Structure 1
Amino acid sequence: MKRFAASLLLLLAAGQAQAQNPTYQVGTTTLTLSTLTTGLNTPWELLWGPDNFLWMTERGGRISRINPTTGQLTPLLTIADVTQAGESGLLGMAILPSLTLPAIPQYSVFVVYTYTNNGTLKEKLVRYYYDELLGMINPVVVLDNLPATNIHSGSRLLILADRTLLMTTGDASNTSLAQNPQALNGKVLRLNPDGTVPTNNPTAGSLVYTLGHRNPQGIARVAATGRIYSSEHGANNDDELNLIEPGRNYGWPTVEGFCNLPAEQAFCQANNVREPLTAWTPTRAVAGLTYYNHPAIPQWANTLLLVSLKAGALTTLPLNASGDQLGTPADLWAGTYGRLRAICVSPQGRVYLSTSNRDGRGAPAATDDRIFVLENRAYSPTATQAARAATWQLYPNPAAADLPAELNLPPLSTTATLELTDGQGRRLWHETLAARQQSVRLPASAPGLYLLRLRTPDGQEQYARLLRR
């Protein structure tokens, strides 16, 4: 009897584990879905950061980093002037690493959100600087005073290869704005990081990259081809998946979906309208969009991954080689986990996606909102990755200005040079470290932010920051 009871408990435990980590079959590849983080409130953006952490916005105004292995969440900032109203609040985010000292976590972080100006809801784009010691600092308004409402405010952000920025905007429930070339709503905008107009935009002096959009909710770029794709909410019909081409018109509000009605055909011919690659009726509230091309899931090579809110689906959209046509869309699931809004892919080929069940239109579970990980656990990369450089152990940091700090390293295999420079790049102190040396005392220095640089004879460098207070 005791053996039977024990066996039963093991079977029940196995069944619970399977229910908690469901699997999905994609050809011969088995994908496992697991929960990474719970207890969130309407995640809006999910990015794989240059620091190999997940970065997330929540609609109420919080920006966080999430450890992709443990799920531990580190809040970075809650933006005080975010106004969350209906579908509006803190929305899209994009991260632009610094061109200098790339080994040091220092980025421009762009976020778009709605705020209240003299009692009226508006939308703006703000750039923060992120420093590993100082956090999110120095906010600068890049673009503001865009009309906004509690619906149709977009907005996703995307950094292009030339370090310009794309920003999608909804029509703010004013359909006339989408076709007005002077208005910034109902558009995909392209701007320099400082908010100025790129010299090669389709119209000189204008931020407008494309027009005729209702409410774009996803944007992605394929590096190999340079092609850009966007998902867009339709009204009562024709959610769209668009290929974004500079200077093109996407039809709204005259054209919904394809140019297949007489009035639409005339408008399309006269206004350089680009038809969608595909459209969905009934609508699914298509949202986050990303690109997949990793050997961990070979069946998804050269494929767009799309999540949707109303349908609650993860949809695969295979591309042809040139990227201008789609194969047959397919849902991996639909409705199983509620509303899905954001999605991204890690360099290891794992897919991260978030629910949006606390956005006022879902039926949240006790652990919602959540971030899931979808992965092929049987995948092992064949290429050998280079070993990471030794990790700094700098203590204390921040450090008192009038006291030395202690730097600890794993044993060095060779001699190395260590130098301390100030914020203007002036060398204040240096020392040659012996092979196998494991520690060094750094001198006291005035309050400020300092850079430590370790150089080995083979040309390798490591960096760390020291904050003196």
Structure 2
Amino acid sequence: MKYLIVTVLIFLSSTAQAKHSIHLDEDKGHYKTQLMWPEVSIPWGMVQLPDGRMLATERSGTLFLLAENKPAIEIQGLPKIHVNNQGGLLDIALHPDFVKNSLIFFTYASPEGEGTGSHTALMRAKLDTKTNTITQQKVFYKGEGNTTKGSHYGSRIAIDDDYIYFSVGDRGARDLNPQDLSLDGGKIYRLNLDGSIPDDNPFVKNDRAKKAIFSYGHRNPQGLVKLDDTGTIWSHEHGPKGGDEVNLIEAGKNYGWPIISYGVNYNGSAFTELTKKVGMEQPKLFWDPSIAPSGMAVINSDKYPHWQGKILLGSLKFNHLVLLEVEDNKIVNQTKIVTEVGGRYRNVIQGRDGYIYLGVDGEGISRLLPMSASD
């Protein structure tokens, strides 16, 4: 295995807004990274199996089964996947009873349904590690309104003992999808673990709405987690130029895109004059300039005692990690973690073994190892 010594510089923000001044803290941590699986080029989704092996999705359409010091295995039997710029094979999660039922969930760009192109879909399937295949495939949800646009598929998954949450980006139709409850895109959805619609979903009695919608008014959410101690759902999403957001996700709430935003068009022109509006939620944090956040993990491992209870995410733009401290449903501090490894942090997870795993575009998957004082 390849080891790199990583110096971690910690920056603390004294406010909940990243656009305010950030000062350098005196505390410095030292870590090393162990390169585990360089063969995964764009490691979008990662999840560790109970036996310690890793499932990882390659956006180009491959599902890998990975074991330490062994060649990567390609899992067969995937559905038809439309690899289209930001679209492809996306996030992955295990069923809470995976040990008993071997069920997995994953999101992907599906060309099925009406129209040309694709839209984000969520599938459940059974993983067979003896034959290295997936079987018993069932599409739980498929966004309607296929498009050839290659942007804003999302997608992340969060799962608990009762529900599966998943995000779908606005699919490049900001003025159409996010604010319309009858259209897919720009939403976070919630389903029961059997694929049915929860009776208490916020729009089940709205005849015009998609019944699976949990929240709306999103741009392109690529981070989604549930905090164990509070049961709250948190997400982050890509803004335009400026205005990347972290949001506390609540049932039926409207998060404003594109009516309100702290960002502008990529050419610098404004598409809205509003940053606030009655009936629309304010982000708990926004970044200007944008950091292009991707991946999101709750850290509770005793291997990283100073990070326990905090949320770790990656930056595609600035090649660093960000650690968020949440208290009373507010972000009270953010910690910018700059490593010598660099790279576009596509995903970050905490494995069942307690270690943090980093997926970096073009470099593969690494394990982050805290160093003892004697190292």
TM bucket (normalised to shorter chain) is 0.7 to 0.9
Q: CA RMSD in A?
A: 2.4
Partner of 1:237: 242
Question: In 2, Cα distance between the equivalents of 1:369 and 1:66?
Answer: 15
Distance 1:336 1:281, change over 3 A: farther
For structure 1, the 5+ residue unaligned runs are 1-16, 357-367, 380-469
TM-score, length of structure 1 as denominator length: 0.67
Question: In 2, Cα distance between the equivalents of 1:375 and 1:336?
Answer: 13
Residue 97 of structure 1 and its aligned partner are, at CA, apart by 4.2
Q: Deviations over 1:416-452 (max 9, x none)?
A: xxxxxxxxxxxxxxxxxxxxxxxxxxxxxxxxxxxxx
Question: In 2, Cα distance between the equivalents of 1:312 and 1:325?
Answer: 25
Distance 1:97 1:161, change over 3 A: closer
TM-score, length of structure 2 as denominator length: 0.82
Residue 264 of structure 1 and its aligned partner are, at CA, apart by 4.0
Question: In 2, Cα distance between the equivalents of 1:182 and 1:64?
Answer: 36
- Whichever residue aligns with residue 85 of structure 1, its letter is N
Q: Verify the 8 A CA contact 1:311 1:334 in the aligned structure 2.
A: no
Q: Verify the 8 A CA contact 1:296 1:348 in the aligned structure 2.
A: no
Question: In 2, Cα distance between the equivalents of 1:178 and 1:78?
Answer: 33
Partner of 2:321: 314
For structure 2, the 5+ residue unaligned runs are 11-26, 206-210, 264-271
Residue 71 of structure 1 and its aligned partner are, at CA, apart by 6.2
Q: Map of 1:397-412 to 2, 5 A cutoff? A: none
Partner of 1:125: 122
Residue 55 of structure 1 and its aligned partner are, at CA, apart by 1.6
Q: Verify the 8 A CA contact 2:31 2:370 in the aligned structure 1.
A: yes
Question: In 1, Cα distance between the equivalents of 2:120 and 2:342?
Answer: 30
Partner of 2:55: 55
Partner of 1:113: 108
Distance 1:79 1:225, change over 3 A: same
Structure whose CA Rg is larger = 1
Q: Map of 1:452-463 to 2, 5 A cutoff? A: none
Question: In 2, Cα distance between the equivalents of 1:237 and 1:290?
Answer: 23
Partner of 1:146: 144
Larger proportion of helix: 1
- Percent identical: 26
Question: In 2, Cα distance between the equivalents of 1:314 and 1:220?
Answer: 16
Question: In 1, Cα distance between the equivalents of 2:164 and 2:79?
Answer: 24
Q: Deviations over 1:302-346 (max 9, x none)?
A: 2110101112211111122x3x11132222116852211111112
Instruction: Between the two structures, name the one with larger relative contact order (CA 8 Å, sep ≥ 6).
Output: 2
Residue 140 of structure 1 and its aligned partner are, at CA, apart by 1.3
Q: Map of 1:330-349 to 2, 5 A cutoff? A: 330-333=335-338, 336-349=341-354
Partner of 2:223: 218
Corresponding residue SS for 1:299: helix
Partner of 1:21: 5
Partner of 1:12: none
Residue 278 of structure 1 and its aligned partner are, at CA, apart by 0.7
Q: Verify the 8 A CA contact 2:169 2:218 in the aligned structure 1.
A: yes
- Whichever residue aligns with residue 233 of structure 1, its letter is H
The aligned length equals 337
Distance 1:263 1:165, change over 3 A: same
Residue 25 of structure 1 and its aligned partner are, at CA, apart by 6.5
